[in-house]
Amino acid sequence: MEVNRKNKLLIGLVTVALVLLGKLFYIQCINGSYKVNADNNSMVYDYIYPPRGIIYDRNGEILVGNQVCYDIMVTPREVKAFDTLALARALNVDPDFIRERMAYYKSHRSRIGYQTIQFLKQVPVTTYLRFAEEEFAYPGFRSQVRSVREYPFNAGGNLLGYISEVNADDIKRHPEYRSGDYIGKTGLEAARERDLRGEKGYHIYLRDSHNKVQDSYRGGEHDKPAMPGHDIVTTIDAHLQQYGQQLMEGKVGSVVAIEPATGEILAMVSSPGIDVDVLSDIGKHYAEIAKNPRKPMFNRTVMASYPPGSVFKLINGLIGLQEGVLKPSDSYPCYSGYQYSGNHKLGCHGHSSPLAFRDAIATSCNGYFCYVLRNILENKKYGSIQEAFDNWREYVLSFGFGQKLGSDFPSELGGNIPTSKFYDRIYGRRGWRFPTIVSLSIGQGEIGATPLQIANLAATMANRGFYYIPHLVKDSDGVEIDPKYRERHYTKVDTTHFQTAVEGMYMAVNGGGSAGGTAFRAAIPGLDVCGKTGTAQNPHGKDNSVFICFAPKDNPKIAVAAYVENAGFGATWALPVASLMLERYINGEISEARKPMEEHMLNTRFF
């Protein structure tokens, strides 16, 4: 027994020894990569930076391209005594800048080692050419070609985002990056970093015992070519995006346009925004932009949470139809508003009374939709208002509110749709009822929605009850979008109810019925525009102006939402922005009859 145990131990030891010997033979004789890593101290890596992928619009227009630039690099350990004034003239910098940098390299020489680091970035071509003629006189200094972003089309600064040099946090999250590399920080540049960045290459050179760079290592056998980044094709229409920016110039807010049949975002304007002229060198302008009180870097389209106002009445009406507490023919009175809890009143503008469902949408009657939400929440089939409210909330969530839609754009927020538990905490379980939350009837109160969600509501109405998750990137060579962007998302309201609401939106713009529509200024001959105005109360100043629309009524090509802060009535400011966007996209131009509206919007500034 003892002999067998010794034999097994001996066999085990021999097996381990053979494995180790085989591994050592593989490392030393077969796999050269270990040799390369072991020799790193005697090697110099000359990195080759790939061109970043180009970003196109849906029609092939270049939104973001590349142009060649030059960096001046330095390997401090290789620097010899040089004429500081001559180098300063060659590089067009102050001599003290050179002295300070060299002093820094000396004090940190042990940490820097034989690294090659960036001395000057993005020097003009004239500086590069002057330095290239004299480079031989400055051992340790060399120039490096790389590319920077250029923007041939002034459209979508916030949408496109910017790139900048990696910092310590970036390197910690992405160890494959090194100091001097660039990374997408915001917008599409950040969202599609993996596709756009490409893969760095390098040439490997040997260093002799005197630290001088000699020939390439093994004749370039281990050199690696740079791999360009993948191009991205966006869903954006560059001309429409640019036009939206022009209309929103001098105004605070957003305009978002979606193709209902696909969920593709045609335009996504946040105003004020970042001009593309500053994107290629954002560091130079960052402090100025960050100090701007109107926060141009804040992308309102996906990050601002606003009360949706009267456009939300569409949802309450549709829920009422689905729940069976409302029929299209049901009429309710409105005498300048809705009276509740004694002398309290939720006001309304003047219009005929009573009204049925379509006319209530067309005139945006506040009183009507107070009755509708009351009937939803006081429905006897529910055991409590909490149960009825949470059921109402589930309907609202199915329209894409109260949660992130799941767009491929970074930093999207979800807005807010309150729960019954929220009101229980504030008022107690028996301390609230419909009059407590009456403002939800008209899209006010605790409801918060992003402009993207409001635009998605317009697309859902256009599709009669379903939407595709709004997205910004199309399938292209080497780039595939997530299959979820091709899936239909149906609301909990039966699609048969939507046609009635759409007819109300059509009447709001084109007339008909027993009352005049609030959106008649959005009418465009031949386009059958459907729309809904909204005026959202704002505790910090004038009301916010809201408008959603789509066209044509049948087989819609575009759905638009405009939201203008502190601008007043929806029909006054948001309506012209959205309807002009719609007309420009479908017809390619603005009709003569609507030119005055266009001129007024282009020339009016709130700041």
DSSP 8-state class, residue 175: T
Residue whose pair of structure tokens reads 């589930």 in the numeric block: 394
DSSP 8-state class, residue 329: T
Buried-exposed string 444-471: b where 16+ CB fall within 10 A, e elsewhere:
beebbbbbbbbbbbbbbbbbebbbbbbb
The pLDDT assigned to 34 comes to 47
The pLDDT assigned to 212 comes to 62
The pLDDT assigned to 39 comes to 47
Three-class secondary structure of residue 96 per DSSP: helix
Angle of helix 313-323 relative to helix 498-510, nearest 10 degrees? 140
When the pLDDT of each residue in the chain is averaged and rounded to a whole number, the result is 90
The answer regarding whether domain 238-274+298-471+485-603 maps to CATH 3.40.50.720 reads no
Q: Is 289 exposed, middle or buried (0-12, 13-18, 19+ CB in 10 A)?
A: middle
pLDDT band at residue 144 under the 50/70/90 scheme: confident
Cα dihedral across residues 167, 172, 178, 183: positive or negative: negative
The answer for residues whose C-beta is within 8 angstroms of residue 545's C-beta and 6 or more apart is: 253, 534, 535, 562, 563, 564, 567, 568, 569, 570, 572, 573, 574, 575
Q: Which pTM was predicted?
A: 0.87
The answer for residues whose C-beta is within 8 angstroms of residue 78's C-beta and 6 or more apart is: 114, 139, 140, 211, 212, 213
Give the CATH fold of the 44-233 domain: Penicillin-binding protein 2a (Domain 2) (3.90.1310)
Beta bridge partners of 559: 258, 550
pLDDT band at residue 12 under the 50/70/90 scheme: low
Least confident of 351-360, 377-386, 391-400: 351-360
Residues 488-511, mean pLDDT to the nearest whole number: 97
Contact in structure between 530 and 550 (CB atoms under 8 Å): yes
How far apart (Å, rounded) are the C-alpha atoms in residues 290 and 297? 7
Domain extent listing, the chain: 44-233, 238-274+298-471+485-603
pLDDT band at residue 38 under the 50/70/90 scheme: very low
Cα–Cα distances in angstroms (integers) from residue 286 to residues 101, 273, 278, 279, 334, in the given order: 23, 13, 9, 10, 52
- Chain segment 235-247, per-residue pLDDT in tens: 999 999 999 999 9
How far apart (Å, rounded) are the C-alpha atoms in residues 537 and 568? 9
Which tokens sit at 447? 């409801």
The pLDDT assigned to 222 comes to 85
Residues 510-523, mean pLDDT to the nearest whole number: 84
The pLDDT assigned to 572 comes to 93
Which tokens sit at 49? 């930076």
Does position 578 have pLDDT exceeding 70, yes or no?
A: yes
Does position 348 have pLDDT exceeding 90, yes or no?
A: no
Residues 196-216, mean pLDDT to the nearest whole number: 77
Residues 579-594, mean pLDDT to the nearest whole number: 98
The pLDDT assigned to 210 comes to 57
Phi, psi values for residue 79, rounded to 5°:
-75, 135
Cα dihedral across residues 117, 121, 124, 127: positive or negative: negative
How far apart (Å, rounded) are the C-alpha atoms in residues 529 and 520? 10
Between 84 and 220, residue with greater pLDDT: 84
Does position 72 have pLDDT exceeding 80, yes or no?
A: yes
The pLDDT assigned to 11 comes to 72
Amino acid present at 300? R
How far apart (Å, rounded) are the C-alpha atoms in residues 227 and 229? 7
- Chain segment 536-576, per-residue pLDDT in tens: 887 777 899 999 999 999 999 999 999 999 988 888 999 99
What's the Rg (C-alpha) of the chain?
32
- Chain segment 354-377, per-residue pLDDT in tens: 999 999 999 999 999 999 999 999
